[in-house]
Chains A and B, each alone.
Chain A
Amino acid sequence: MNWFKVLLVPIALTSQLAAAEVAVIVHPSNAAAADQAEITRLFTGRGTTFAGGAKATPLNLAESAALRADFDSKVLGKSSSQMKAYWSKLVFTGKGTPPKELADDAAMKAAVAADPTAIGYIDASAVDASVKVIGKF
């Protein structure tokens, strides 16, 4: 995969040489702050509330979205395969359920803008006033 990227990125995506910047977003009314450790906690099922105690609903992008792999590696520090193995263990032992998945940035942005408990992520270039950015990676 990485060799693929090395070879294909300069050819196919001449306008975008570096990996996309990931913006972690919440509802504009959400005042909670979350650092990388906190975001990792929520997206690995180890916590279900923001630091202030309010309920948190993590939302993931589907594997077909290019930004998903960037989020997994930059924010969670794992490959998408490692995350899949991690969740498989929890799902089939009744210890956890992975975050709901959305198809793309537009669906993610709409879902976060509509849910005060949501936390998700989109390409930093797609951010607008309907959501609030709490971290860029």
Chain B
Amino acid sequence: MKKSIAGIAVVLALSCSQLQAETEISGFASVVGGKVLSGTGVEEFGLEPTFLANYPTVGFYNEEWTFNPDSKYGLQISSELTEGLTATAQMVGRGADDYTAKFEWAYLSYQVNEHWTIQAGKKRLPLYYYSDFFDVSYAYLWIRPPADNYTWQIFNYNGVNAQFNYQLDEWAVSGNIYTGQEDDTTNKLLSEFFGSEPVREIWKNIVGGVLSFNRDWFDLRLTYMTYENERFRGGVPVLWNGEDSRRGKFAGISTNIDYNNWILLSELNRLTLDGSDFDTYLVSGGYRINEWTPYVSYADFDSEGEVHSTTSVGVRWDFHSSAAFKLQYDDVTDDGYDGGQVAGDSKSITFGIDLVF
């Protein structure tokens, strides 16, 4: 992945500011193990029974126990440089990448006033509801956000983000507007899972926004993003209808309810890319009984040729004020056709501990 100049500036600022500034260090970690209990694999690709739990980082389980696909750690350092100006860097290491730590976030943040903050640097793309805290599993219900929805190969961007926070009567209204680009010289998902030669994936002229309404037990989030896609396979530009670039438009709505210990989570998203629609949705329900939250979930992906869904059942146990144990069973149905299969049907069990500090 390319290093951004802003990212380097942030790291420099952090290393120089340690002595005089107020520096905060926080972190998160997940240790998760699991295996495929049974699965079909995909005979066409010579793929053994596989559960692709994390598309972007190619985290997958097979019939042997493994702790790699969902385990990860993150360390965040945030330092106030002057009044209102903060430098933040987050390093993340994932089992799917042999735990090699990389800077996933590195940005400068300036608080303009009570309502607005401007940020510049490298950040996570806030596409789906869980995209920008995907790695912080302690912050959500499941072992991982449902894989069928979180399938996109690009999850970071370098650019500028303006975020806001207002109160309108009983409603908290917040959101952000962002623009930037990402040039991933060797995209893992496209190079390793959906191909066998290096793929350079470029998303440029990214412009997007998020608008959230929150009131007591109700949460509504709207998201939109448009970008231009360029791709090089083995150094050769990929052409779509004779053009070397194509435009994608992403829109989504998410509603979440947390009322009297009942939890209902939902997401509905559509990506239109070059005239084709990629539709995703998820719906999850849970009920909190003191420290225990059993849950069920269904997630679905539907496009031309690629069709898959996952039904999940699990439980979260908040056994400690900063740590949770989770156990989850996932049943994946892969109805892909014309070469659109991903990893075949599978039934898997995963369990582990998420923590924050």
- For chain B, the count of residues having a C-beta within 8 Å of the partner chain is 37
B64-120 interface with A by 8 A CB criterion: 74, 76, 78, 88, 90, 105, 107, 109, 114, 119
Nearest chain A CB to B108 CB, angstrom units: 10
A94 in contact with B291 (CB, 8 Å): no
**Complex: A1 Cα to B109 Cα, angstroms:** 39
* Chain A residues in 8 Å Cβ range of B214: 46
- Does B31 sit at the interface, judged by CB under 8 A? no
B123 in contact with A92 (CB, 8 Å): no
* A84 and B76 in contact, given A41-B172, A95-B163 (Cβ under 8 angstroms): no
**Complex: A84 Cα to B356 Cα, angstroms:** 8
A41-55 interface with B by 8 A CB criterion: 41, 46-49
**Complex: A81 Cα to B322 Cα, angstroms:** 7
* A92 and B114 in contact, given A37-B170, A41-B167, A85-B140 (Cβ under 8 angstroms): no
Interface string of A49-63 (1 = CB under 8 A from B): 100000000000001
B114 in contact with A94 (CB, 8 Å): no
**Complex: A96 Cα to B209 Cα, angstroms:** 18
**Complex: A47 Cα to B115 Cα, angstroms:** 9
Chain B residue at smallest Cβ distance from A81? B318
B318 in contact with A79 (CB, 8 Å): yes
**Complex: A93 Cα to B88 Cα, angstroms:** 10
**Complex: A80 Cα to B321 Cα, angstroms:** 7
- Does B139 sit at the interface, judged by CB under 8 A? yes
Nearest chain A CB to B164 CB, angstrom units: 11
* Chain B residues in 8 Å Cβ range of A63: 321
Nearest chain A CB to B92 CB, angstrom units: 10
Contact of A81 among B114, B123, B291 (CB under 8 A): B291
* Chain B residues in 8 Å Cβ range of A2: 290
**Complex: A46 Cα to B114 Cα, angstroms:** 10
Chain A residue at smallest Cβ distance from B109? A94
B321-356 interface with A by 8 A CB criterion: 321-322, 324, 356
A67-89 interface with B by 8 A CB criterion: 79-81, 84-86, 88-89
* Chain B residues in 8 Å Cβ range of A106: none
B167 in contact with A46 (CB, 8 Å): yes
* Chain A residues in 8 Å Cβ range of B170: 37
**Complex: A80 Cα to B356 Cα, angstroms:** 13
* A48 and B167 in contact, given A81-B318, A94-B119 (Cβ under 8 angstroms): no
Interface string of B157-175 (1 = CB under 8 A from A): 0000001010100101010
Contact of B88 among A48, A80, A94 (CB under 8 A): A94
Task: Kindly list 5 other residue pairs between chains A and B, CB separation below 8 angstroms, not including A46-B174, A88-B138.
Answer: A80-B321, A89-B139, A92-B90, A92-B135, A95-B163
Report the 10 A-B pairs with minimum CB-CB distance, sorted nearest first.
Answer: A81-B318, A88-B139, A89-B139, A46-B172, A93-B132, A88-B356, A92-B136, A85-B139, A89-B133, A2-B290
Query: B interface vs A, CB < 8 Å?
Result: 24, 26, 28, 74, 76, 78, 88, 90, 105, 107, 109, 114, 119, 123-124, 126, 132-133, 135-136, 138-140, 163, 165, 167, 170, 172, 174, 214, 290-291, 318, 321-322, 324, 356
A-B contact pairs, 17 of them (CB 8 A): A1-B290, A1-B291, A46-B165, A81-B324, A85-B138, A85-B139, A86-B139, A89-B133, A89-B140, A91-B76, A92-B76, A92-B135, A93-B124, A93-B126, A94-B105, A94-B123, A97-B24
